[in-house]
A and B are shown apart, each in its own frame.
Chain A
């Protein structure tokens, strides 16, 4: 690449003097709210005690049993048991949880609020934006940091629900896990949040955005089934393995299983190859009830439910 072109590009970038609006008051307000949200204490004594119970009796977290209720403790209580595993991570597992009710009221309207374990963090979608938090280790606090969309573009009702959700989450002091069907309830002085699991498995996902561009009727599909995956393109089908740990995904051993009998059109072939390139470098997944977004180092794939 010539130096001349690099210099020209610098000049073009420098000449692009677009002005992006900024609501400074909204930044300050949301910044203050985020700082407040980080000062949250969870009832570690109760959580740790429950960790022991669950670790000692594996059946408690199986689908065939119901009800594990942690004793409520004050947010400032000390650690009361010898638990060494942060229980919420065990309970959360690799599942994406969707908020289904809040203090008895159903709140499952789009855009939905989700929660999922991501290593030692939890992450999730809000109605407008996302949030992250730390899974509490023994003696530590849960902290949440919201990264929310600009207030001017967030509908009032959605914004109010996001705010109420984060406030309620920050007030949680105990939880209840029930199975068959799985339900996770987070309870505290500010109310109860009830989550139900959503799964990427068994759904035929079709690519709807590739490299940030809409692609209607792409014919690029993916079906995940435990550690296996398969899918199709217009020209070829494939199988692969999928490894998942919370939001961390990787797709390996992808192999074609059927070749096209007619020449694959160049544009279709290019799109298929790009799909495979992105699929092979996926490191992260974001799941909502309607969409699956796979992100890698060089781009992202957004899927919608097919059919």
Chain B
């Protein structure tokens, strides 16, 4: 496949995948610029592998590359130039959603990376525990315990947040 054909196909893929992969990157890193770096690095790897994975497996491949990457590396990378503006979000409509109050991504970012990966795959991408284990190449028991710990930590954070808001 020549570069022209590959580029055309891959550009179409990027257009369709950007939203889902971008949100996954955001939830894994909790930082906008880190998420942009992770998204771009993931897509570069996917581009390289394109002849092998195209067309049906591309999204799953990209997601697998992303969740298995060392996401903390992007958060710690010293060469990053800080970006002043916050993530582009819809204007809150006044509801009481945690995502609008503080950002579930920032809460997720406080979890250990493995718990973060498991929670994102399990509850954002709705994969079964078995599928998550296969995607992350982890024992099923590890996935279950990571999910349980991650959920417990998130629940505690949410309850703390709500207690603070109610003045208790």
Q: Do A and B come from one complex?
A: yes
Identify the A interface with B (CB < 8 A): 1, 5-6, 9-24, 26-28, 30-32, 34-35, 38, 110-111, 127-130, 145-155, 158, 209, 211-213, 293, 295, 297-300, 302
**Which 4 pairs of residues, A with B, have the shortest CB-CB distance?**
A31-B47, A20-B22, A299-B112, A16-B99
Which single member of B18, B37, B112, B119 contacts A150 (CB below 8 Å)?
B37
Identify the B interface with A (CB < 8 A): 3, 7, 10-11, 14-15, 18-19, 22-23, 25-27, 32-33, 35-37, 39-41, 43-45, 47-48, 69-70, 72-81, 83, 87-90, 97-100, 103-105, 109-115, 119-120, 123-124, 126, 138, 142, 146, 148, 151-152, 154-155
Q: Are B90 and A299 in touch, CB under 8 angstroms?
A: no
Which residues from A are CB-within-8-Å of B83?
Answer: 153
Q: Are B112 and A298 in touch, CB under 8 angstroms?
A: yes
Which residues from A are CB-within-8-Å of B70?
Answer: 295, 300
Task: Report if A22-B76 is in contact (Cβ < 8 Å); known contacts: A13-B123, A16-B104.
Answer: no
Measured CA separation A147–B43 after assembly (Å): 10
Look across to chain A and name the residue whose beta carbon is closest to the beta carbon of B138.
A297
Measured CA separation A22–B11 after assembly (Å): 11
Which residues from A are CB-within-8-Å of B14?
Answer: 22, 24, 27
Which residues from A are CB-within-8-Å of B32?
Answer: 18, 20
Known: A35-B48, A149-B37. 19 other contacts (CB 8 A): A9-B119, A9-B154, A12-B99, A13-B123, A16-B23, A16-B99, A17-B23, A17-B89, A18-B35, A18-B103, A20-B36, A20-B87, A27-B10, A30-B44, A110-B78, A147-B44, A151-B40, A155-B81, A299-B114
Measured CA separation A35–B19 after assembly (Å): 25
Within the complex, the shortest CB–CB distance from A231 to chain B, in Å, comes to: 21
Which residues from A are CB-within-8-Å of B103?
Answer: 16, 18
Task: Report if A28-B11 is in contact (Cβ < 8 Å); known contacts: A12-B99, A22-B22.
Answer: yes
